[in-house]
Structure 1
Amino acid sequence: MARSFAKKILAGLRLPRLPRTSLRRLGFVHDALVSFLAITAAMALSWGLAPMLTLWQIWVLIGIFTAICILVFPFFRLNSGAWRYASLLDVVSIVKAVTAVVFIFLGISFFTFRGDYLPRTALVTTWFVLIIGLGGPRLLYRLMKEGGRRSRMDDPQVKRGNSVLVYGFTDSADLFVRNARRSGEGQRIVGILDERPKNRKRQMHGVHVLGRLADLPTIIARRQAARQNPISELVIADPDLPAQALSDLVAQAAPHKITVKRLPDINRAGIVDENAPIEPQPISLEDLLTRKVVDLDLDETGDLLVGTKVAVTGAGGSIGSELVRQIAGFKPSLLILVENSEFNLWAIERQLAADFPDIAVVARTIDVRRKDRIDRLFAELEPEVVFHAAAMKHVPIVEENPIEGIETNLLGTRNVADAALAYGSRAFVMVSTDKAVNPTNVMGASKRAAEAYCQSLDLSQDRTRFMTVRFGNVLGSTGSVIPLFQTQLARGGPLTVTDPNIVRFFMTIPEATRLILHAAGHGMNNAGSKGLIYVLDMGKPIRIAELAERLIQLAGLRPHIDIAIEFTGLRKGEKLYEELFSTEEAREETGREGLMFARSRVLDVQLLSRNLKTVEAAIEAGETGRAVECLRRIVPEFDAISFELPAPLLTLEDSPPAIAGPGKPFAE
């Protein structure tokens, strides 16, 4: 009863709003007045009333003390913060300031009156009274502010926003709860969940620890029985929560239609704006990856890129654009953007102009299949380092358009690689894919053939280093499964997965790009890597069906109940699982975290060039079956469906192709 009465009194207190400058001046006036009253009261208690009326020296000392307070308090920044956020740190500052004033006043009183008119008890009394007089109003003001908001938050008749549970009894939770109390908007925090037994039955700013995550069903049932608003959000206040624990938490919250969010790392983000609420951030699918994210030292890459002319093909794609952004950070002397899509080229060029205005950029809309255009570009600009990311990467589309896929992925790579060699580039880096390992589709086979061509060039000369970097899927890339799932989820489902057992390797685009750059720098300083393929450590493969389930759960919905997941069957050329190494390749360590070598067979460069001319002739004639069969001759492990041949197959020159291992003489 008394508590509710006190809440009504606090809620009824409404202070007029004043400008910030006016409030700060009012604080200075308050502190000066309290200082005057504190020393006056202490002197009166020590001397009595009669001497106060007759001895003018007492009033001189009172004036000196008040003046010292006015001069000293600003050095301790007593009014630099808002009273509504007063805390123990402010009380500590007050104690320091008052102590300093007392010692300064004691010294000055001995110089003026030799301490004759200053009772010793007056100093002690002044010290206590002044601390209470300065700190008490500040804390009372904060209590009034928070008490008024708390009463409104706890009023069931007042419509609030989301009912929120906080997970983790942490410093971040403390900041979030206090911020929510102050702002009085957005969320209504109804409880805290924490796994540690020592935190049971504890509370934080009036918000109680209700139990562990396992107690969530009981907490929800209890609220339903009391006809309280359902919990709609679970906010994670532990910035160091592992990915696996985060994934489990999302899975347990989803059956109750609770959206899981997490607080930004408030302690690392700097000072929080006292007038703005702390906004929990949605959890991304990248947050749920259980793989270890490798952050590598890029000093070697800096030696390769700083002050050089760098060309990036496919510069507007998912990987290419991130490569461009990270390369720009190394301040190359010239950044050459090669992109077939006009819009993608415009988008990345505009972003570079905004983020890196000091970097010289040349943008060219060129198809890598046009050898003459590529040669003219390299003759004109003479790039020193080339990153080749242009490719057709969507398996079903390439299966339906094999000629375009082979011409882009294989002949396009040949065109750019030959130009890099002819015009004196120091390094050429090809971006490859795990689908090149034991390929079952044209896309993978064309990339494996392109890998073989770069390997053969790397071993056949010493003028240009040719490096190949192989890795799996990246989250969020154009045409990948995650954007498809997000589109399907926005339409209300269903989410389509080809097979319940299909798995893929995944990493984030920035991480994959960092590793590509690091592999390039490492390759330039490691002569022993000639003819080898860099393979990125992709961690463990992830079930696509599990990705779909987690994406649904992140939206606060239930897989197979609120949103259906349909299995459509494997598509043409698609495998259940991908591999990073074939059975014929030897895996070797690079000595660098996140990078490995694949030592595979290498074809004779002259023989391979003649075979590529045969492929080119088949493409120019529009003979799909012959082009695919030629590809199969170059990549004998290519296990694909048979294409109907439109014309009798011409025999490849010097078939079958001879092979040689890295570092060994070529077979003639």
Structure 2
Amino acid sequence: MDYYRYLDMIWKLSNWYFSKDALPYWCIFVLDCLIVLGADVLVYALNNGTLSFLQNFVQLTGAFCFYLLFYVVSFRMFHTYSGVIRYSSFIDLQRMGFAMITGLLMIIGVRYLLNEDCWLMAVGMKDIGIAALLAVLMMWSVRVFVKYLYDSTFNRRRGKRVFIYGVKAGGVGLAKSIRNQVDSRYVVSGFVSDRQDMQGRFLMGKRVYSNDEHLVEKMEDFGVHTLLVSPLKNEAIRNNPEMVERLIKAGIRIYMISAAQEWDGKSDLDHRQLKEVDIEDLLPRDKIEIDLKAVEELLTGKSILITGAAGSIGSEMVRQIAKFTPQKLILIDQAETPLHDVRLMMARKRPDIEAETIVSDICMKERMEEIFGIYRPDYVFHAAAYKHVPMMENNPGESVRNNVEGTRIIADLAVKYRAKKFVMVSTDKAVNPTNVMGCSKRICEIYVQSLDKAEKDGKVEGVTQFVTTRFGNVLGSNGSVIPLFKEQIKQGGPITVTHPDIIRFFMLIPEACKLVLEAGTMGNGGEIFVFDMGKPVKIVDLARRMIQLSGAKNVEIKFTGLRDGEKLYEEVLNEEETTKPTFHPKIKIAQVREYDYADVCRQVDELVASSVEEDDMEIVKRMKEMVPEFKSKHSVYEVLDK
């Protein structure tokens, strides 16, 4: 009974102490002084006998107090009492040790100057040395005990129990960050490892558990409902859908560093960088590395023009290119508000770079020529395009005028004003197109490729190298299914999926733009670069995963049928194309049919004229004549394929 009463008293005392901001610094100072005096008395009594101590009590007490003054000076020098005991670290213990050593050295120096018969010499040097060692051990013990008590009572009660996935530098870094954080919101209860040799071992006092089908049970035994993922394990968890599925079904929340962030593996980790995962963070994909040095050498100090600079791809291109410190950025978009946001971003983050933000339509030839004449860009990144498939099915004339004619205007001006390179952002929907948007982008590819060949053949005077980059859906872009699904979940459903078997390739916007930069700068002209988009994702599985991650209940999935021009899966090559390897494992060159520039110009002229003068059916008919592999699906234009 007394035992439990004693434990209850400690519990109440610790909660009282830890509920305060901190003890006043003078309390810590007094405590340290009492520990030193107590150590002096104990050591002297043990070495010389209690009777000797009592007989010389006044003299010895005076000597102990005199020697204490030197320790007090050392405490002041090393600020040993200015910290909060509950947050003591190794550095604090180190300072305490140095303070005691310094005080002891000062005492030795003073005793060297004293006579042997001085009353201060009544205490032997051996006693003083042993007492100093005992005192520092006691002060260390107090600090360690208080910290342990805080971690095991008050902080443990406030913090959320977590497991950490990863036992190397990343996992250990997260655990240290949590332990060193004042009022951390987490308490580490265990580690998770894929390595057989680590399972069952202890790391920082916590057991390492196997990453198997029993992991969820182990976490539930500890009351753990949160998994922190080491940055070094991001790729491993993305490519382990079974593990993710088990965790999500059990209601375990997963926290990891955002996919857009990177950790260099050397700098200190802060667990506050972690955020609860979005679906983008968990889609399987490989990490993409590019030759930043080569890109930097080409873009640094150059004048660079970006069309569609306010869009999902264009704005990320702005951010990434700005890292290479170009001389000037010319940013064109017809969307005023998003472009204004880009302008503010550049002013805030890169005020050292001259950035011209121009609100204009790329189809305004005279205005575009004026811009090229003034700024004479060295590199042109062409990302402007209408991209929404259903919208373009209903507006084929606008698709031709903006995508095709706009691309031709910018490409021709790049040649006229001798830009070094023109990089066009295309899409996987240009391969065996089934919709107007995809066909319009394929015509853009044909035009710039034939123009590059005409330059090389001497039919067109110019030095510009034309490069096309072709990839699939980018996560989080405007019009992407992920923002749509998030909004539908927020509203309670249903989530609308067009078909249960529809699949898509996905890539992060920053990763896609990295590949655009490397392909664009390293290409020699005339290439259509195809990006390895990784594993395809079934859209219905994506929807289910997002519902599970959200924690929402009773959200249904409704199948609405394929939209106009939509196909079940996208391709990056058509049936007649093959690929060649390049300087990057994620980038291939599509070997496509070549077109005569003069024939392409004639067909584009006719198509653009048709977009103004003729009806939608006639416009699409001309597009199909130019791109024979364009076969409409779920569209009114299917009659043209019969």
The 5 A counterparts of 1:124-139 are 124-139=129-144
Matched, 1:616 2:627: no
Paired position in structure 1 for 2:417: 423
The percentage of counterpart residues that share the same residue type is 33
Deviations along 1:72-103, one digit per CA (max 9) or x if unpaired, are 45666644642102356644554455355545
Structure 2 CA distance for partners of 1:521 and 1:145, relative to 1, 3 Å: same
Paired position in structure 1 for 2:68: 66
Whole-angstrom CA distance in 2 between matches of 1:551 and 1:393: 25
Whole-angstrom CA distance in 1 between matches of 2:57 and 2:75: 29
Deviation, 1:470, is 0.9
Residue type of the alignment partner of 1:302: E
Matched, 1:504 2:501: no
Contact preservation (8 Å) 2:37, 2:64 = no
Paired position in structure 2 for 1:166: 163
- Between 580-589 and 1-10, the greater mean CA deviation after superposition: 1-10
Deviation, 1:502, is 1.4
Paired position in structure 1 for 2:629: 637
Residue type of the alignment partner of 2:562: L
Structure 2 CA distance for partners of 1:519 and 1:222, relative to 1, 3 Å: closer
Deviation, 1:268, is 6.8
- Between 545-554 and 5-14, the greater mean CA deviation after superposition: 5-14
Matched, 1:549 2:544: yes
Structure 2 CA distance for partners of 1:622 and 1:113, relative to 1, 3 Å: farther
Contact preservation (8 Å) 1:235, 1:280 = no
Structure 2 CA distance for partners of 1:627 and 1:171, relative to 1, 3 Å: same
Q: TM-score, normalised to structure 1's length?
A: 0.80
Structure 2 CA distance for partners of 1:587 and 1:113, relative to 1, 3 Å: farther
Contact preservation (8 Å) 1:435, 1:579 = yes
Paired position in structure 2 for 1:319: 313
Whole-angstrom CA distance in 1 between matches of 2:129 and 2:92: 21
Deviation, 1:322, is 0.5
Contact preservation (8 Å) 2:431, 2:438 = yes
User: Which of 119, 124, 142 pairs up with 2:124?
Assistant: 119
Contact preservation (8 Å) 1:46, 1:121 = no
Whole-angstrom CA distance in 2 between matches of 1:188 and 1:3: 28
The 5 A counterparts of 1:514-533 are 514-523=514-523, 529-533=524-528
Whole-angstrom CA distance in 2 between matches of 1:26 and 1:267: 41
Whole-angstrom CA distance in 1 between matches of 2:203 and 2:111: 49
SS in 1 for 2:24: helix
SS in 1 for 2:423: strand
Whole-angstrom CA distance in 1 between matches of 2:488 and 2:363: 34
Question: For structure 1, which runs of at least 5 residues remain unmatched after alignment?
Answer: 154-159, 224-230, 524-528, 647-668
Residue type of the alignment partner of 1:635: V
Residue type of the alignment partner of 2:154: R
Paired position in structure 2 for 1:12: 12
Residue type of the alignment partner of 1:620: V
Residue type of the alignment partner of 2:474: V
Contact preservation (8 Å) 1:315, 1:337 = yes
Whole-angstrom CA distance in 1 between matches of 2:18 and 2:536: 61
Contact preservation (8 Å) 2:295, 2:517 = yes
The 5 A counterparts of 1:422-571 are 422-461=416-455, 462-523=462-523, 529-557=524-552, 562-571=554-563
Contact preservation (8 Å) 1:335, 1:359 = yes
User: Which of 347, 359, 369 pairs up with 2:353?
Assistant: 359
Paired position in structure 1 for 2:296: 302
Deviation, 1:411, is 1.0
Whole-angstrom CA distance in 2 between matches of 1:247 and 1:516: 28
Paired position in structure 2 for 1:337: 331
SS in 1 for 2:132: helix
Contact preservation (8 Å) 2:164, 2:188 = no
Whole-angstrom CA distance in 1 between matches of 2:304 and 2:133: 70
Paired position in structure 1 for 2:283: 289
- Between 573-582 and 196-205, the greater mean CA deviation after superposition: 196-205
SS in 2 for 1:292: coil
Paired position in structure 2 for 1:651: none
Paired position in structure 1 for 2:459: none
Whole-angstrom CA distance in 2 between matches of 1:193 and 1:16: 31
Q: For the aligned residues, what is the CA RMSD?
A: 4.0
Deviations along 1:582-609, one digit per CA (max 9) or x if unpaired, are 2222311112232221121221212211
User: Which of 391, 401, 411 pairs up with 2:385?
Assistant: 391
Deviation, 1:542, is 1.4
Structure 2 CA distance for partners of 1:395 and 1:74, relative to 1, 3 Å: farther
Contact preservation (8 Å) 1:250, 1:550 = no
Residue type of the alignment partner of 1:383: P
Structure 2 CA distance for partners of 1:514 and 1:114, relative to 1, 3 Å: farther
Contact preservation (8 Å) 2:63, 2:123 = no
Whole-angstrom CA distance in 1 between matches of 2:497 and 2:3: 57
Paired position in structure 2 for 1:98: 100
Deviations along 1:286-327, one digit per CA (max 9) or x if unpaired, are 221221021212222222221222111111100011111111
Contact preservation (8 Å) 1:253, 1:556 = no
Structure 2 CA distance for partners of 1:246 and 1:59, relative to 1, 3 Å: farther
Whole-angstrom CA distance in 1 between matches of 2:18 and 2:435: 73
Whole-angstrom CA distance in 1 between matches of 2:3 and 2:574: 73
Whole-angstrom CA distance in 2 between matches of 1:285 and 1:106: 66
Contact preservation (8 Å) 1:304, 1:521 = yes
SS in 1 for 2:424: strand
Residue type of the alignment partner of 1:466: F
Residue type of the alignment partner of 1:410: V
Whole-angstrom CA distance in 1 between matches of 2:57 and 2:197: 64
Residue type of the alignment partner of 1:84: R
- Between 466-475 and 329-338, the greater mean CA deviation after superposition: 329-338
Contact preservation (8 Å) 2:238, 2:285 = no
Whole-angstrom CA distance in 1 between matches of 2:272 and 2:353: 36
Residue type of the alignment partner of 1:371: K
- Between 607-616 and 232-241, the greater mean CA deviation after superposition: 232-241
Whole-angstrom CA distance in 2 between matches of 1:349 and 1:364: 10
SS in 2 for 1:432: strand
Structure 2 CA distance for partners of 1:573 and 1:398, relative to 1, 3 Å: same
Structure 2 CA distance for partners of 1:93 and 1:6, relative to 1, 3 Å: farther
- Between 371-380 and 434-443, the greater mean CA deviation after superposition: 371-380
Residue type of the alignment partner of 1:419: L
Deviation, 1:488, is 0.8
Residue type of the alignment partner of 1:328: A
Whole-angstrom CA distance in 2 between matches of 1:53 and 1:255: 71
Whole-angstrom CA distance in 2 between matches of 1:209 and 1:306: 47
Residue type of the alignment partner of 2:493: G
Contact preservation (8 Å) 1:628, 1:643 = no
Structure 2 CA distance for partners of 1:91 and 1:354, relative to 1, 3 Å: closer
Structure 2 CA distance for partners of 1:257 and 1:92, relative to 1, 3 Å: same
Whole-angstrom CA distance in 1 between matches of 2:198 and 2:26: 45
Whole-angstrom CA distance in 2 between matches of 1:270 and 1:463: 48
Structure 2 CA distance for partners of 1:332 and 1:102, relative to 1, 3 Å: same
Would you say how many aligned residue pairs link Structure 1 and Structure 2? 614
Deviations along 1:458-503, one digit per CA (max 9) or x if unpaired, are 2222511111111111000001111111111111111111222211
Deviation, 1:10, is 2.6
Residue type of the alignment partner of 1:166: F
Deviations along 1:499-535, one digit per CA (max 9) or x if unpaired, are 2221111110011111111112212xxxxx4311112
SS in 2 for 1:296: coil
Whole-angstrom CA distance in 2 between matches of 1:356 and 1:410: 33
Paired position in structure 2 for 1:657: none
Structure 2 CA distance for partners of 1:146 and 1:267, relative to 1, 3 Å: farther
Contact preservation (8 Å) 2:385, 2:403 = yes
Contact preservation (8 Å) 1:251, 1:553 = no
Contact preservation (8 Å) 1:438, 1:638 = yes
Residue type of the alignment partner of 1:23: P
